[in-house]
A and B are shown apart, each in its own frame.
Chain A
Amino acid sequence: MSQSQSQSDLNHSESYPEGRRGFMAHVLAAAIGGFVGLVPFASGLAFFLDPLIRKRKGGSGDGFVKLPITVEALEINGEPQLVKIIMDKVDAWNTYRNQPVGAVYLRRVASDKVIVFNQRCPHLGCAVDYKPAEKNYFCPCHTSAFGLDGVKQNDIPPRGLDELEVSIRNNTEVWVKFQNFRATTPDKIPVA
């Protein structure tokens, strides 16, 4: 059996198992062969889709965080104040305590009313600057601009700045429900 067979492969003339048995062999070979290949691939794919499938552990409490600033410290109708949001952050297997997870602009509009915007630009997620000279918010990435009330001033962003829920507690404490929202959409859709 040392003779090479490869030349004769193309025009071989051996007998195929014909009829019913031959057909079954074709079907079974394809089915089993496909199955053994599919199992590892499907397992891997299901694993890869983990971020979509897995239920995240819900955070405790009502989702509000206390900001390190009091209502009194804010001037009524003054300049917006940029404040970092400090929260616990879960990253896969690690839990980071008290990490900056984002930032918000605060502006007091009445003695008992504070408006809070997420600093993330609704266009594509850059951090929005405040321009004191022009009294507006301006995004350095693709020049989105927003008024002090958060309304968009040009057609680049899909919507105005994302306003966050605020609650004033014990007369002076500012609590904010910190959320990020999907970029690019005209509607405010929270990122889970």
Chain B
Amino acid sequence: MNALVNWIDDRTGLKKLMHEALYEHIPGGARWRYVWGSTLVYTFTIQVITGIFLATAYSPSTTTAWESVYHIQNHMQFGWLVRGLHHFSAQAMTVLLAIHLMQVVIDGAYKAPREVNFWLGLILMQIVLGLGLTGYLLPWDQKGYYATQVSTEIMGATPVVGPQLQQLAQGGPQYGHHTLTRFFAMHVMILPATLVAFLVLHIAVFRRHGITVPDPDRAPGVAFWPDQVLKDAVACLVVLATVLGLTYFKGAELSAPADPSEAFSAARPEWYFLFLFQFLRFEWVEHQGLAFGAIYLPGLLMLILTAMPIFGRWKLGHWFNIAFMMAMMVGIIGLTGLALKNDAKDPDFQAAVKQAHDDSERIKVLAERPDGIPLEGAVSLLRNDPLTQGPRLFARNCAPCHRYDGHDGTGREVAKIVTKDGVKVRELEQATATDLGKFGTQEWLKGVITDYAKTFAPLSNAGEKVKKHFVDDSEMADWSKSHAQHWRVGENEKSLDDLTAFLQAQGGRVSPKPNLDEAAVKRGREIFTSGKLAVGQIESKCTDCHSLKPRGEETVLGESGTAPTLTGYAGADWLRDFLKNPGHAQFYGENNAMPAFGDRLSEKELGLLVRWMVGDFE
């Protein structure tokens, strides 16, 4: 054994190298305060190891990036763990970097003769931030996509060469395959290689000048090994435990696949850039132009950091540096806090976050179906999914008048910000048409029958003509009112169940699965034509005004008269025809006040909206 070691040492000088690495002199003894640099090297090591393994399964293109990350996260052995380690170590690195920098400034470790090493450190910091930025895009999910768009737009705002820079980074005028290949190359080759080079220099120069010791006479000096190594190792263990904890309990996020045609209102940069995001939101910053807030000012801060070793030659300069560092930290933490606070009290943002979360859950369901992820990418799954697109179409097209369980379909309130007595307040917009959250279900039908006035009450806000026809002078409203006493009789509850079961069966809704047993539907049909209830009798029965051709039958019940025909009521075909032309004689005729959507929405959009409303999706 010894002979082998000697043989190797003879040829490589390994012993001396090991000795230099392990027996660095630490005056004043090993201390916890020296661990920060080592934890940074450690997190970088985690990134290199997990990064190489992730690269064995990642595929950078717009139709495979998200898909391969999804596969890593959900199907590959320990994929969640490796990705989680990579994801959270990156964030730990940012935090440790800030601590390391603060300590260097406070301890005055940047002063002569360590100026060059301080500058090397600042370069390393830029590289680490660059790694974070490029890595954020690679999963090609909505979150990364829209956050990175902001970064490249800022790049485009650089004076003189901005547009060229942006195109070079993106690999073209828009995001596409080459944006990913370029970001990937930056993230896994160019930046890490540069980082390693500068890290070697940083550590070599650090070793040359030795550790910065505030009070060398505190305790007898020791060597780096084993006392300081032990402290460093314990610190790394704490970092690892934190990262593992986050990985296990929180998990690396993967939002829905990037879709340039789908707005992402939950877009935010990675949390450590939130301060800059918040800063750019101030109106006075906006007035100075994007380049000021996003380029000149951060540039100025970096310049001051760079100049610290020069200021540090004077005692006062050192105090200035510390004060500046603290002010910057307070500013960053304050702005970050403000950003979080603003988001927390913004219901629209909260709804957007929830929607983003729902989408990321929904895509899992869609991707796990037998056909899996189509070749054109997972994004098409969401684009063709009624449950995803229905609410959005509703919000854009229906919510200006209707509501869906009180909201706009996507969970957002329909509200506007108004200034009242100089204070901005949120005011809910009044609905001018019915709430369609339960449309076509038995519950809805019961509402129409037993309390028409309440169900259609919002129409009173839609102007005189509509109010007159649909509320004040509505025959159905009168009917509902004059027959109300029947429904107060307990025994008739079942009759109402049967009648509405029959009516709901006409639409053929898919979900919520109507509890329509055939017998109930049959009894309901009887009530529809005869008006006979368990107790009493409907004076003017349904067929006196409505006509209806029951599903699967050839005979038409009742005669088409003044009231809308109920054939296939609230079903997919009925709803599609209705949306296309609500003013058709079969529906509201000349009393109609609803816009026709036949030429506003494409067939595909109509189909998605209708399928969502009748519950026809998996």
A62 at the interface (CB under 8 A from B): no
Q: Which residues of A contact B210 (CB under 8 A)?
A: 1, 3-6
CB <8 Å contact, B68 and A40: no
CB <8 Å contact, B24 and A94: no
6 contacts between A and B (CB under 8 A): A4-B209, A5-B24, A15-B222, A29-B233, A46-B78, A54-B77
Q: Which residues of B contact A26 (CB under 8 A)?
A: 226
CB <8 Å contact, A47 and B76: yes
CB <8 Å contact, B25 and A12: yes
Q: Which residues of A contact B225 (CB under 8 A)?
A: 29
B553 at the interface (CB under 8 A from A): no
Q: Which residues of B contact A37 (CB under 8 A)?
A: 45
B577 to chain A, nearest CB (A): 34
CB <8 Å contact, B230 and A2: no
Q: Which residues of B contact A16 (CB under 8 A)?
A: 222-223
Partner of B240 from A36, A47, A53, A96 at Cβ < 8 Å:
A36
Q: Which residues of B contact A35 (CB under 8 A)?
A: 237
Distance, CA A33 to CA B82, complexed state (A): 19
- Main DSSP-derived SS at the B contact region: helix
CB <8 Å contact, B227 and A50: no
Partner of A40 from B46, B220, B229 at Cβ < 8 Å:
B46
CB <8 Å contact, B229 and A29: yes
Name A17-62 residues within 8 Å CB distance of B. Answer: 17, 22, 25-26, 28-30, 32-33, 35-37, 39-41, 43-50, 53-54
CB <8 Å contact, A47 and B81: yes
CB <8 Å contact, B49 and A40: yes
A134 at the interface (CB under 8 A from B): no
A interface residues, Cβ below 8 angstroms from B: 1-6, 8-10, 12, 14-17, 22, 25-26, 28-30, 32-33, 35-37, 39-41, 43-50, 53-54, 90, 92-97
Q: Which residues of B contact A4 (CB under 8 A)?
A: 208-210
- A-B pairs with the 3 shortest C-beta distances? A44-B53, A32-B233, A29-B230
CB <8 Å contact, B229 and A33: yes
Q: Which residue of A lies closest to B108 (CB)?
A: A1
B476 at the interface (CB under 8 A from A): no
A111 to chain B, nearest CB (A): 40
**Number of residues of chain B lying within 8 A (CB) of chain A:** 61
CB <8 Å contact, A8 and B25: yes
B368 to chain A, nearest CB (A): 11
B67 at the interface (CB under 8 A from A): yes
Q: Which residues of A contact B244 (CB under 8 A)?
A: 39
Given A12-B223, A44-B82: A36 in contact with B233 (beta carbons within 8 A): yes
Distance, CA A155 to CA B27, complexed state (A): 74
Partner of B230 from A25, A49, A93 at Cβ < 8 Å:
A25
Q: Which residue of B lies closest to A96 (CB)?
A: B375
CB <8 Å contact, B82 and A43: yes
Distance, CA A22 to CA B229, complexed state (A): 13
Q: Which residues of B contact A39 (CB under 8 A)?
A: 240, 244
Q: Which residues of B contact A9 (CB under 8 A)?
A: 19-20, 23-25
Distance, CA A10 to CA B207, complexed state (A): 13
CB <8 Å contact, A47 and B372: no
Partner of B50 from A12, A30, A43, A53 at Cβ < 8 Å:
A43
Q: Which residues of A contact B112 (CB under 8 A)?
A: 2
Residue-wise, chain B 15-48 has the 8 Å CB interface mask toward A (1 for contact) of 0100110011101000000000000001001100
Q: Which residue of B lies closest to A31 (CB)?
A: B233
Name B80-101 residues within 8 Å CB distance of A. Answer: 81-82, 85
B interface residues, Cβ below 8 angstroms from A: 16, 19-20, 23-25, 27, 42, 45-46, 49-50, 52-53, 56-57, 67-68, 70-72, 75-79, 81-82, 85, 112-113, 207-210, 212-213, 216, 220-223, 225-227, 229-230, 232-234, 236-237, 240, 244, 367, 370-375
Partner of A48 from B53, B67, B208 at Cβ < 8 Å:
B53
Distance, CA A46 to CA B72, complexed state (A): 12
CB <8 Å contact, A49 and B77: yes
Distance, CA A48 to CA B54, complexed state (A): 9
Q: Which residue of A lies closest to B209 (CB)?
A: A4
Highest count of chain A CB atoms <10 Å: which of B16, B20, B372:
B372
Q: Which residues of A contact B208 (CB under 8 A)?
A: 4, 6
Given A1-B213, A26-B226, A36-B236: A44 in contact with B49 (beta carbons within 8 A): yes
Distance, CA A15 to CA B219, complexed state (A): 11
B103 to chain A, nearest CB (A): 15
Distance, CA A1 to CA B371, complexed state (A): 68
CB <8 Å contact, B233 and A50: no
Partner of A46 from B75, B77, B212 at Cβ < 8 Å:
B77
CB <8 Å contact, A93 and B372: yes
Q: Which residues of A contact B222 (CB under 8 A)?
A: 14-17
- List 13 additional contacts besides A26-B226, A47-B77; criterion CB under 8 Å: A6-B207, A17-B222, A25-B230, A33-B236, A40-B46, A41-B49, A43-B81, A43-B85, A47-B53, A47-B76, A54-B77, A93-B70, A94-B67
Distance, CA A96 to CA B325, complexed state (A): 57
Distance, CA A160 to CA B374, complexed state (A): 39
Q: Which residue of B lies closest to A41 (CB)?
A: B49
Highest count of chain A CB atoms <10 Å: which of B56, B72, B81, B233:
B233
A58 to chain B, nearest CB (A): 14
Given A40-B46, A53-B77, A94-B373: A1 in contact with B212 (beta carbons within 8 A): yes
Highest count of chain B CB atoms <10 Å: which of A22, A44, A90, A94:
A44
B188 to chain A, nearest CB (A): 14
Distance, CA A39 to CA B372, complexed state (A): 33
Distance, CA A192 to CA B410, complexed state (A): 46
B39 to chain A, nearest CB (A): 10
Partner of A94 from B20, B76, B375 at Cβ < 8 Å:
B375
Distance, CA A12 to CA B22, complexed state (A): 12
Q: Which residues of B contact A44 (CB under 8 A)?
A: 49-50, 52-53, 82
Q: Which residues of B contact A54 (CB under 8 A)?
A: 75-77
CB <8 Å contact, B42 and A36: yes
B552 to chain A, nearest CB (A): 34
CB <8 Å contact, B76 and A50: yes
Partner of A25 from B27, B227, B374 at Cβ < 8 Å:
B227
CB <8 Å contact, B209 and A2: yes
B480 to chain A, nearest CB (A): 53
Q: Which residue of B lies closest to A23 (CB)?
A: B226
Q: Which residues of A contact B240 (CB under 8 A)?
A: 36, 39
Distance, CA A30 to CA B222, complexed state (A): 17
Q: Which residues of A contact B229 (CB under 8 A)?
A: 29, 33
Q: Which residues of A contact B227 (CB under 8 A)?
A: 17, 25, 29
